[in-house]
Each structure stands twice: as C-alpha cells, then as structure tokens.
A and B are shown apart, each in its own frame.
Chain A
Amino acid sequence: QKEVEQNSGPLSVPEGAIASLNCTYSDRGSQSFFWYRQYSGKSPELIMSIYSNGDKEDGRFTAQLNKASQYVSLLIRDSQPSDSATYLCALLLTGANNLFFGTGTRLTVIP
C-alpha cells in the first residue's frame, strides 16, 4: 500500500472556477502535510503547509486536513491558467525522518 495516494488526473477546470485536489494517506500517525506545485520541467515549489485538523487559507489557496478520514485537500479559488501545473502532496510519516511524496495531480485551467 502506498503511503500517499493522489489521483493523477488530468483535472480540468474552467478559468475562475474552484479546483479541488485530494490526497489520502495510510499512516494515521502522520503529522505534517505539504502541498507543492510543479510546473512542467521545473522543480517543486512549496505552496502550503498544514499540521492540524481544519482549514488553512493563504490567498486563493485553502488546505484542508482531516486526520480521522486520513485525507488532505487543496482548494484553489478563482483558478487561473497560470495555476496549470502538477500538484504534489507530501507528508511526514510517524517515525520517519523524510517526506513522502504522492505522484501528483495534473491540473489544467482552461481560459
């Protein structure tokens, strides 16, 4: 069983819509969760960190964590074509000393 699961997509949304990206994980003791954005041919860029249950908002981005259901989500409001990228979910497993990454969800925002 993979530690981190993401739908590979592609996920297509029209410009101005809300994009919803989801990630599930298998280790109930995971404590730290991160969302990275990776443009084609570029390196991953950190966009959100979340450590406790609930929502965390930063501009157009909202991360949602539900430890009981073992999922973490990223919402992108007012999606722009520049948001088109692959979004990677990462988490720190209990007892581990490095992050585990999902394979990413490719998002396309259609103008």
Chain B
Amino acid sequence: SQTIHQWPATLVQPVGSPLSLECTVEGTSNPNLYWYRQAAGRGLQLLFYSVGIGQISSEVPQNLSASRPQDRQFILSSKKLLLSDSGFYLCAWSVTLYNEQFFGPGTRLTVL
C-alpha cells in the first residue's frame, strides 16, 4: 500500500529565515505530487504540483519554491520566510492529475 510522509511535523521559524519541508511517497512509482497551504480558517490553496522529476508547476506567485529531485520526493523551500507564510503545509499524491489525491500528515509552520 502507498504511504506518504512529511517532516517535520511542526516548525517555528523567525521571519527572514530559510525553509525546507520534505515529502516522500512509498509504494508507488511516478506519482503526481502536490504542495498545498491551509491558512487558519481557510481552504486549501494549491502552491505547486509536479508530474515528474524536475517538472514543477507553480499556481500562485510567492516567495516559495519547490523541487523534485527524485521520483518520490518533493521539497518545498524558501530563502526568506514572511509572517504570511505561516500555515499548515500539506503534501499530496495522485496516480494521475485527474484522480483523487491522498494527503500526508502535514507540517504546521509558524513564522514569528
């Protein structure tokens, strides 16, 4: 069966510091991978998605970036965090872009 991991689970970072969140998927090959952010009391906002190694599509302009160095690894990064980057970051995977998505446990980021 497929499993999706995210770490760290929680993170508190000062404004202006860098960020690196990691997501890995087990039990499947060539998954589509997604990064979402869920701000407090708000819906899910798609940040990036990837259909393969090195292929990244960005949905919203921001100071975040994503990379996919391996088939089942997806990384979300920032060089300098903003207060507005606080939120619940969720990684998800799907078989194709047109199927249901399955979410990882998430990383709760607080920027102070």
Chain A residues near B (Cβ < 8 Å): 32, 34, 36, 41-46, 49, 88, 90, 92, 97-99, 101-104
With CB as the reference atom, state the residue of chain B lying closest to A99: B101
Evaluate contact between B34 and A98: CB separation under 8 angstroms. yes
* B 93-110 contacts with A by CB, 8 A: 97-106, 108
The one of A42, A88, A90, A97 that contacts B97, using a Cβ cutoff of 8 Å: A97
Q: State in angstroms the CA–CA spacing of A44 and B34 once bound together.
A: 14
Q: State in angstroms the CA–CA spacing of A27 and B55 once bound together.
A: 28
Nearest CB of A to B89, in Å: 10
Q: State in angstroms the CA–CA spacing of A46 and B49 once bound together.
A: 19
Segment at the A interface, from B40-48, B65-73, B78-86 = B40-48
Chain B residues near A (Cβ < 8 Å): 34, 42-44, 46, 49, 57, 59, 90, 97-106, 108
Q: State in angstroms the CA–CA spacing of A97 and B57 once bound together.
A: 10
The 22 sampled A-B contact pairs (Cβ below 8 Å) are A41-B108, A42-B105, A42-B106, A43-B90, A43-B103, A43-B104, A46-B100, A90-B101, A92-B98, A97-B49, A97-B57, A98-B34, A98-B46, A98-B49, A98-B59, A98-B97, A99-B46, A99-B101, A101-B44, A102-B43, A103-B42, A104-B43
Seed contacts A46-B101, A97-B97, A102-B43; 6 additional CB < 8 Å A-B pairs:
A36-B103, A46-B100, A49-B100, A98-B59, A103-B43, A104-B43
Q: Is the interface of A mostly helix, strand, loop or mixed?
A: strand
Which residues in B have their C-beta under 8 angstroms from that of A103? 42-43
Which residues in B have their C-beta under 8 angstroms from that of A36? 103
Which residues in B have their C-beta under 8 angstroms from that of A88? 43-44
The one of B34, B43, B103 that contacts A45, using a Cβ cutoff of 8 Å: B103
Nearest CB of B to A31, in Å: 8
